[in-house]
Structure 1
Amino acid sequence: MFLNILFGVVLPIIVLIVAGSVLERIFRLDLYTLSKINFYCITPATVFMSMYHSNMNPELLGNVILFYALYVLLLYIAGSITSRIMGYRNGKKAAFNNSIMLDNSGNYGLPVNQLVFNGEPLAASMQALIMSLQSLLTFTYGVISIQGSRLQGNYRSVIVGFLKMPVPYALVLGLLLHVMAVPLPAMLSQPLTYAQQSMVAIALITLGAQIVKYPLRLYRKDIYLSMALRLFGGPLIGLLLIYALGLSGIPAQALLIASAMPTGVNTSILAEEYRNEPDFAAQTVLLSTMVNVFTITIVITLSHYVA
């Protein structure tokens, strides 16, 4: 299992990150433009298509949403307490909370889910829903928390800024068209599919370029605190919620594994987009992904006992 995850999931991700780093070294890429492409094109298309093709039933949909709401709330509380103890300012607190609440449920979580469950439709649908909820969290809380810290409480400007974000509209529209069974013409579905399929490569190449832009600081305590809460606190909270909600079988396994993902690429993209702790964000994504090679194997093993 360890070698399958290493060679089938993690190493392809690392290859793309390294490719982005090499391209940045050679060509000095325009990171601002790359983040705009991710922010306003690739991610909205991915969220829309995930919701449009979802096959979740209402009962399971409700259980997953309840689990996820409680999960991110407890992570937020843990991050806020840690930030207060460490004396982080508002901008750093927003970046720290994003690093533990916004995980890599898409370009990392989806391949892991497919490997563990061999493409089982129920498990795949749950992971797609988690990815959509994660995207919604990213472009609501993730954006508002950073903008709020930068605008010093001017929440009217924060709300206006949020309303300009395309992802919430993409999520709602995709869900509505799915519920109404509205067919998408090929002239729309095909380009959206192309954009969705490009998400992994473009996001990870961007991350690689961002990482090489900043010096690696392995001595930073804030990075290790973020990793501890993301990689160990996340699965522990997930396990407690699974028992508290009485979940079992494939849903319990899938949710536990989903709670063990590393810090998401969108954390770094948001940090670059809003110029808020991009150094910290890029390094937490890289290091948590590397350490996750070991932690995800443990969580996958434990998930068989949860079922």
Structure 2
Amino acid sequence: MIVTILLEVVLPVFVLIGCGSLMQRIFRLDLYTLSKINFYFITPAAVFMSMYHSDMSGTLLGTVVLFYGLYVFILWLIGTIVARSMKFPSSMRAAFNNSIMLDNSGNYGMPINALVFKGDPLAGSMQALIMSLQSLLTFTYGVIAIQGAKLKGNYRSMVIGFLKMPVPYALVLGIFLHVLHVPLPVFISQPLTYAQQSLVAVALLTLGAQIVKYPLRLYRLDIYISLFIRLIIGPVIGCGLVFALGLKGIPAQALLIASGMPSGVNTSILAEEYANEPDFAAQTVLLSTLFNVVTITGLISLAKMF
């Protein structure tokens, strides 16, 4: 089973990431444009179509929100305790908590979900909801934590930044039209379907191009502590919550796999934007993505038992 998962799910993901990294080395891709295409069109289209075609009941939707809320709260508690025990300064505490709480549920988690569940609408809609909640967390807690640490944040810009995010609007609109059974005309549904189908390739190529710009350093203990919490403790928490909430089948599998994503690229973007431990943030993104080859393979194998 592990060999099959490695060859059919994990290896295709990292082949695309590797191609993105190689293309960035050779052609110096325009990351700004790639990110904008992903962020403002492909990802919102995938979220909208996932929720529009969702088989998720209102009860399950509430359960996913509860799961995610408990999941990030427990991670925050662990991160706070570890940061205080290691006597991190306030700037490092913010960067450390962001590295373990803000994961790559979008341009990494969505493709993994699509490959594992073969495009299953229920699994896809659950991952889309997790990604939307992650975006909400990133541009609320993630920004506030850094601004509080730097003591010079403009909270008005944080609110404006959140309101500009297209993913929450796509999520709400997709659910709304799904509940009302509103048919989509072909000239709208077909372009959105094309965009959704391009998500895996474009998102992973972009991720590969993004992470290659980070220099690799292997000497910082705080980075490995972050990796351990993000890649090992995170799935343990996810597994415990799946049992506690009585989830089974695809919902349990999708949430368990979602709990094992590497640190998100937004962690590094926020760190660079606010000049708050950018080197630490970049290293956690790069190394957690590399180590995830091993951890996500094991986690998918475990999820298949539910």
Match of 2:32 in 1: 32
Aligned pairs (5 A) from 1:1-307:
1-88=1-88, 92-106=92-106, 108-109=108-109, 113=113, 122-123=122-123, 125-146=125-146, 152-268=152-268, 279-303=279-303, 307=306
Moved more, 291-300 or 106-115: 106-115
CA distance in 1, matches of 2:264, 2:79: 16
- CA separation of 1:198 and 1:122: change in aligned 2, threshold 3 A: closer
Q: Deviations over 1:40-90 (max 9, x none)?
A: 333222222222221111222222221111111111222233334445455
- How much does 1:236 deviate? 1.6
CA distance in 1, matches of 2:150, 2:28: 27
- Does the aligned pair in 1 maintain the 2:136–2:162 contact within 8 Å? no
Moved more, 174-183 or 95-104: 95-104
- Does the aligned pair in 2 maintain the 1:5–1:112 contact within 8 Å? no
Partner secondary structure for residue 79 of structure 1: helix
- Does the aligned pair in 1 maintain the 2:43–2:199 contact within 8 Å? yes
- Does the aligned pair in 1 maintain the 2:72–2:101 contact within 8 Å? yes
Opposite residue 166 of structure 1, the aligned amino acid is: P
Q: Which runs of 5+ in 2 are unaligned?
A: none
CA RMSD in angstroms, aligned pairs only: 3.2
Opposite residue 56 of structure 1, the aligned amino acid is: M
Opposite residue 203 of structure 2, the aligned amino acid is: A
Partner secondary structure for residue 232 of structure 2: helix
Q: Deviations over 1:7-46 (max 9, x none)?
A: 1122222222222222222222333333333333332222
CA distance in 2, matches of 1:19, 1:134: 26
Opposite residue 46 of structure 1, the aligned amino acid is: A
CA distance in 2, matches of 1:144, 1:16: 34
Moved more, 154-163 or 213-222: 154-163
- CA separation of 1:15 and 1:254: change in aligned 2, threshold 3 A: closer
- CA separation of 1:227 and 1:5: change in aligned 2, threshold 3 A: same
CA distance in 1, matches of 2:272, 2:35: 7
Q: Deviations over 1:153-180 (max 9, x none)?
A: 4323322232222222222222212222
- Does the aligned pair in 2 maintain the 1:50–1:132 contact within 8 Å? no
Q: Which runs of 5+ in 1 are unaligned?
A: none
Moved more, 85-94 or 48-57: 85-94
CA distance in 1, matches of 2:118, 2:293: 19
- Does the aligned pair in 2 maintain the 1:95–1:146 contact within 8 Å? yes
CA distance in 2, matches of 1:87, 1:286: 25
Q: Deviations over 1:187-211 (max 9, x none)?
A: 2222222333333333332332233
- Does the aligned pair in 1 maintain the 2:6–2:297 contact within 8 Å? no
CA distance in 1, matches of 2:199, 2:269: 12
Moved more, 139-148 or 206-215: 139-148
- Does the aligned pair in 2 maintain the 1:9–1:111 contact within 8 Å? no
- Does the aligned pair in 2 maintain the 1:46–1:199 contact within 8 Å? yes
Moved more, 149-158 or 73-82: 149-158
Opposite residue 59 of structure 1, the aligned amino acid is: T
Q: Deviations over 1:242-295 (max 9, x none)?
A: 333344455334433332233345545655677765554444333223323332
